Amino acid sequence: MRAVIQRVSEASVTVDGVVTGQIQQGLLVLLGIEDSDTMEDIAWLSAKIVNLRIFNDDAGVMNVSLKDANGDLLLVSQFTLFASTKKGNRPSYLRASKPEIAVPMYEKMILQLEQDLGTTIQRGIFGADMKVALVNDGPVTILIDSHNRE
């Protein structure tokens, strides 16, 4: 799994003119899923997202997690995170899971994040043409790959 994590002061996702998810201070997480992803990847990535200390403490140092900051989370599926640009100029998305694999994994990630956060999260609609709006706070943007745990 790959996740692009953005610390935001606000974010929303709109499908066909209807807002399907909206948050204030928190994290916008773009999530890509590949066939080799497992429940272990979900558990590890969810814990990392929820506990990543990227919010400022009283001294202005990034030392507070989403969970500790009582921040919101907006999860958006994004198969393009597995784009390969190795050959030519048209990206290949062969590594991205097809919906029959990706949808159940996405739903399991939602449940895991909600369990780890102890609250309901906001989300986009899997496979929809989504319009994502955000105000990146910082800016703080972090890329995490569950198969490359740096």
Q: Domain range for residue 70?
A: 2-145
Q: Is residue 49 part of a domain?
A: yes
Q: Per residue of the chain (150 residues), what is the pLDDT tens digit?
A: 999 999 999 999 999 999 999 999 999 999 999 999 999 999 999 999 999 999 999 999 999 999 999 999 999 999 989 988 999 899 989 889 999 999 999 999 999 999 999 999 999 999 999 999 999 999 999 999 998 887
> Based on the structure, what is the number of domains in the chain?
1
Q: Which residues contact 50 (CB under 8 A, 6 or more apart)?
A: 65, 66, 67, 113, 116, 117
pLDDT for 10 equals 98
50: domain CATH number is 3.50.80.10
pLDDT for 95 equals 87
Q: Is residue 75 part of a domain?
A: yes
pLDDT for 14 equals 98
Q: How far apart are CA 10 and CA 22, in angstroms?
A: 8
pLDDT for 60 equals 93
- Cα torsion through 104, 107, 108, 113, rounded to 10: 160
Q: Is residue 119 part of a domain?
A: yes
Q: Is residue 83 part of a domain?
A: yes
Name the pTM for this structure. Answer: 0.94
Q: Is residue 129 part of a domain?
A: yes
Q: Is residue 150 part of a domain?
A: no
Q: Mind telling me the catalytic residues?
A: 80
Q: Is residue 69 part of a domain?
A: yes
